[in-house]
């Protein structure tokens, strides 16, 4: 069910982003409020709080990869529950998506996922690779 895959992926991505934003903001604000009130924690406590914030941010970003992978299922055309080898988008739409990824992430996105990339760049590279894969024909391809 492609629509369900897209909704699941979108919801995971949205929840990740919201959690990342809210969690980071709350924790940073709390630390700055403490410092403003003259209640600076000890170095060990401060280091632990920074490590917790970093860990929570990392966990939220990790959700991005599966969300993007799930979203690709919504682009595939199915017949009786099996992929047809065709996409639900046209050649022009496919080119436009790839161009948008290139404009946003630069030409390196064409290389797909690479070791050492951030989760965001890796997800963009994975999506670009999917769109570039000749296995999937556009809906208006001959």
Instruction: Give pairs for 17-20: CB < 8 Å, separation 24+.
Output: 17/60, 19/56, 19/60, 20/56, 20/57, 20/60, 20/61
**Is residue 98 located within the same domain as residue 52?**
no
Residue 84, domain extent: 75-142
Residue of 16, 42, 19 whose CA lies nearest to 31: 42
98 Cα distance to chain centroid: 15
136 neighbors 88 (Cβ within 8 angstroms): no
**Is residue 51 located within the same domain as residue 104?**
no
Name the domain count of the chain: 2
Of 35, 63, 91, which residue is a domain's last? 63
pTM as predicted = 0.66
Residue 64: its H or E element: helix 64-73
Tens of pLDDT along the chain (142 residues) come to 444 544 555 565 566 666 666 766 777 777 777 777 777 766 677 778 778 877 877 777 777 788 888 888 888 999 998 999 999 999 999 999 999 999 999 999 999 999 999 888 899 999 999 999 999 999 998 7
């Amino acid at each position: 069910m492609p629509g369900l895959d897209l909704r699941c992926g979108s919801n995971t991505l949205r929840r990740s982003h919201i959690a990342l934003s809210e969690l980071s903001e709350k924790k940073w604000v709390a630390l700055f409020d403490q410092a403003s009130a003259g209640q600076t924690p000890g170095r060990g406590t401060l280091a632990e709080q920074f490590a917790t914030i970093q860990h929570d941010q990392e966990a939220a970003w990790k959700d991005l990869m599966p969300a993007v992978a799930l979203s690709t299922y919504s682009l595939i055309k199915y017949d009786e529950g099996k992929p047809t080898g065709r996409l639900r988008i046209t050649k022009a739409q496919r080119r436009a998506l790839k161009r948008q990824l290139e404009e946003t992430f630069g030409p390196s996105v064409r290389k797909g996922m690479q070791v050492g990339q951030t989760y965001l760049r890796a997800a963009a590279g994975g999506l670009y690779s999917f769109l570039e894969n000749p296995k999937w024909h556009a809906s208006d391809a001959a």
